[in-house]
Structure 1
Amino acid sequence: MKTRWLLISCFLLLTAAASAMALAGMFQDSSELSATGNGAADAPEPVRLVWLHHFGEDGSRKWIDSGIRKFQEKYPGVTVTVVPLNGGDYMSMLRMRVATDEMPDLYMIDNIQGARDLIDSGYAADLTGKPFLERLKPEYLNGAKTEDGRIWALPIDANGLGVTYNKDVFARAGITTVPETWSEFLDVCRKLKMRGVTPIAAGYKENWTLFWDLAADLIPSALVANPRLIDDLSTGAATFEQSKAVFEGPFTRLAERYRYVNADPFETSWDEARSMVAEGRAAMMIGGTWSVDGVRSKREDANIGLFPFPASEVPGAAKFAMKSTGGIVVNPHSRHADLAMELLELYAEPELGLSLQLNKKGISVIKEVNGNLDPALAELNEAYMKTGRTVDWSGILPDFTDPELGRAYSAAVADYLLDPDHDLDAALRGLDEAFGQIRPAAVPNGEEETADEEAA
Structure 2
Amino acid sequence: MKETKWIVCTCILLLVTVAGAMTLAGMFREANHPSMLGSGEGGTEPIRLVWLHHFGEDGSRKWIDSGIRKFQETHPGVTVTALPLDGGEYMSMLRMKVATDEMPDLYMLDNIHGGRDLIESGYATDLTGRPFLDRLEPEYLYGSKTEDGRVWTLPIDANGLGVTYNKDAFTRAGIVDIPKTWSEFLDVCRRLEAQGIMPIAAGYKESWTLFWDLGADFIPSSLVANPALIEDLSAGATTFEQSKAAFAGPIERLGERFRYVNANPFETSWDEALAMVADGRAAMIIGGTWSVDGVRSKRADAEIGLFPLPVSDVPGSAKFAMKATGGIVVNPLSRHADLAMELLELFAQPEMGRSLQENKKGISVVKDIGGNLDPALLELHNQYIKPGRTVDWSGVLPDFISPELSRAFHAGIADYLLDPDHDVDAAIRGLDEAFDGIRKPQGNSVGGGNR
TM-score by length of 1: 0.95
Q: How far has the Cα of 1:87 moved from its partner?
A: 0.6
Instruction: Report if aligned partners of 1:33, 1:83 keep a CA contact under 8 Å in 2.
Output: no
**1:445 paired residue number:** none
Q: Aligned AA for 2:126?
A: D
Match of 2:353 in 1: 353
Which aligned pairs between 1:144-155 and structure 2 lie closer than 5 A?
A: 144-155=144-155
Q: What is the match of residue 130 of structure 2?
A: 130
Which residue of structure 1 aligns with residue 25 of structure 2? 24
Tell me the amino acid that sits aligned with residue 8 of structure 2. Answer: L
Secondary structure at the aligned position of 1:420 is classed as coil
| 2:6 alignment counterpart | 5
Matched with 1:39 is 39
Task: Give the letter for the 1:391 counterpart.
Answer: V
Report the Cα distance in structure 1 between the residues aligned to 2:75 and 2:325, rounded to whole angstroms.
Answer: 28
* 3-state DSSP of counterpart to 1:313: coil
Give the Cα separation in 2 of the matches to 1:386 and 1:250: 27
Q: Which residue of 1 aligns with 2:445?
A: none
Matching of residue 280 in structure 1 with residue 280 in structure 2: yes
- Partner of residue 415, structure 1: 415
Deviations 1:90-144 (A, max 9, x none): 0111010011110000000111111111111111100000000000000000110
Give the superposed CA RMSD: 1.5
Change (3 A) 1:33 1:208: farther
The match for 1:175 is 175
For 1:428, the equivalent position in structure 2 comes to 428
Deviation by residue 1:61-110 (Cα, 9 ceiling, x = unmatched) = 11111111111111100000110001101011101001111000000011
Runs (5+) with no aligned partner, structure 1: 443-456
Which residues in structure 2 correspond to 1:111-260 (within 5 Å)?
Answer: 111-260=111-260
Residue number in structure 1 paired with 2:265:
265
1:85 & 1:253 partners in 2: Cα distance?
A: 30
Q: Following the alignment from structure 1 to structure 2, what is the Cα–Cα distance between the partners of residues 90 and 32?
A: 23
Task: Decide which moves more: 26-35 or 90-99.
Answer: 26-35
Shift of 1:33: 12
Contact 2:50 2:81 in 1 (8 A): yes
Q: Does 1:98 align with 2:98?
A: yes
1:295 aligns with 2:304: no
Per-residue CA distance 1:345-374 (angstroms, 9 max, x = gap): 000000000000000000000112120000
Question: Between Structure 1 and Structure 2, how many residues are aligned?
Answer: 442
Shift of 1:4: 1.4
Q: Provide the rounded CA distance (Å) in 2 between the counterparts of 1:309 and 1:325.
A: 21
Residues 341, 13 of structure 1: CA spacing in aligned structure 2 closer, same or farther, 3 A cutoff? same
Tell me by how many angstroms 1:34 deviates. Answer: 9.3
| CA distance, structure 2, for counterparts of residue 248 and residue 395 of structure 1 | 23
- Structure 2 Cα separation of the partners of residues 29 and 440 of structure 1: 36
Contact 2:235 2:441 (8 Å CA) reproduced: no
- Deviation larger for 291-300 or 63-72: 63-72
Distance, in Å, in 2 between the alignment partners of 1:150 and 1:169 is: 46
Contact 1:182–1:312 (CA under 8 A) maintained in structure 2: yes
Question: Which residue number in structure 2 is paired with residue 62 of structure 1?
Answer: 62
Q: For residue 18 of structure 1, what is the amino acid of its counterpart?
A: A
Cα displacement (A) at 1:437: 1.8
CA-CA distance at 1:38 after TM superposition: 2.6
Shift of 1:31: 5.6
> Do the aligned partners of 1:31 and 1:81 also contact (CA within 8 Å) in 2?
no
Alignment partner, residue 50 of structure 2: 50
- 1:348 counterpart SS class: coil
- Kindly report structure 1 stretches of 4+ aligned residues shifted beyond 4 Å: 31-35
Q: Deviations over 1:243-268 (max 9, x none)?
A: 00110110000000000000000000
Report how far residue 43 of structure 1 moved. Answer: 3.0
Instruction: Check 1:34–1:378 CA distance in 2 against 1; reply closer, same or farther (3 A cut).
Output: farther
5+ residue gaps, structure 2: 443-451
**Counterpart of 2:239 in 1: which secondary structure?**
coil
Counterparts in 2 of 1:34 and 1:141: CA distance versus 1, 3 Å: farther
Measured in 2, the distance between the counterparts of 1:110 and 1:42 equals 38
- AA partner of residue 414 (structure 1): A
Confirm or deny: 8 A CA contact 2:320 2:391 kept in the other structure.
yes
